[in-house]
Amino acid sequence: MKIAVDGPAGAGKSTLARALAQKLGFIYIDTGAMYRALTWKALQMGIDLQDGASLQGLAASLDIHFETQAGIQRLICAGEDITELVRTPEVNAAVSVVASFPAVREIMVSKQQRMARNSSVVMDGRDIGELVLPDAEFKFFLTASLEERARRRALEMERRGFDNDFNNTKKDIEKRDRLDAERELGALKILPDSIVIDTGRHSAEDILARILTIIGED
């Protein structure tokens, strides 16, 4: 079985998708983390983030995968555990730019599809239901108000020890929303077969229970 979870930044996709995969015994694939890994590596190498050709070459050559260590999923890039390193304000600000290049997305989508080829998966991101897993049995679209998503992201950054300003966080998310919605390939959108859930009105536990009921696993 393949389950797609799409939605904008701060909607709670990763939290929900990770819990759902654990409940079902499926593999969880965080595609947003993969784009963050590519962005982090580009920043480390000093690559111009407007240079689509260089980013395409990096995406094609870079080994990005997930490993489970002591029951916790870790993000591995070029042999290095960068799980925490990709959650910085610098990566937050740049990832939508890196992900906007069609050639980069085509490479990353291919990598993601290979991961899902022989396993039951829960995969979250921006274009999962449309491009990565168009044949997914269930396609969920999680959303919440801009204010709620900004509040969550600000709290997340505080927990990670980064200084942040709510208004700046809100502006950053607004910018990401715009870039995600307007990109040429894999734009963020609600599909005709999307099951839309507003995560701002319910607890994570309630949303998980609702999704399990929908897919018949309650």
Among candidate residues 120, 104, 148, the one with its CA nearest the CA of residue 7: 148
Instruction: Report yes or no on 72 lying in a domain.
Output: yes
Distance CA 169, CA 67 (A): 30
Any idea which of 46-55, 69-78, 157-166, 188-197 has the lowest mean pLDDT?
157-166
What would the mean pLDDT of 200-209 be, rounded to a whole number? 92
- Domain limits for position 39: 2-212
Instruction: Report yes or no on 52 lying in a domain.
Output: yes
HSE (CB half, 13 Å, CA atoms) of 128? 31
> Can you give the pLDDT at residue 201?
82
Distance CA 41, CA 146 (A): 29
Burial of 134 by CB count in 10 Å (0-12 exposed, 13-18 middle, 19+ buried)?
A: middle
pLDDT at 72 over 90: no
Residues 6+ apart with CB under 8 A from 11: 142, 143, 144, 149, 199
Reduced to 3 states (helix: H, G, I; strand: E, B; else coil), residue 191 is coil
| Alpha helix ranges (H) inside the chain | 13-24, 31-45, 52-61, 89-98, 102-116, 146-159, 166-182, 204-214
Among candidate residues 149, 131, 45, the one with its CA nearest the CA of residue 94: 45
Residues 6+ apart with CB under 8 A from 41: 58, 62, 77, 78
pLDDT at 4 over 90: yes
> Can you give the pLDDT at residue 218?
55
Residue that wins the pLDDT comparison between 184 and 105? 105
Instruction: Report yes or no on 218 lying in a domain.
Output: no
pLDDT tens by residue, 107-143: 999 999 999 998 899 999 999 999 999 999 999 999 9
Instruction: Report yes or no on 127 lying in a domain.
Output: yes
CB 92 within 8 A of CB 98: no
Instruction: Report yes or no on 183 lying in a domain.
Output: yes
pLDDT tens by residue, 11-58: 999 999 999 999 999 999 999 999 999 999 999 999 999 999 999 999
Residue that wins the pLDDT comparison between 164 and 4? 4
pLDDT tens by residue, 75-103: 999 999 999 999 998 998 899 899 999 99
Helix axes 52-61, 31-45, angle to 10 degrees: 120
Provide the domain count of the chain: 1
Looking up residue 94, the CATH number of its domain turns out to be: 3.40.50.300
Instruction: Report yes or no on 124 lying in a domain.
Output: yes
pLDDT at 178 over 80: yes
Total-model pTM: 0.88
The pLDDT-based confidence of 174 (bands split at 50, 70, 90) is very high
Instruction: Report yes or no on 217 lying in a domain.
Output: no
CB 93 within 8 A of CB 172: yes
The pLDDT-based confidence of 71 (bands split at 50, 70, 90) is confident
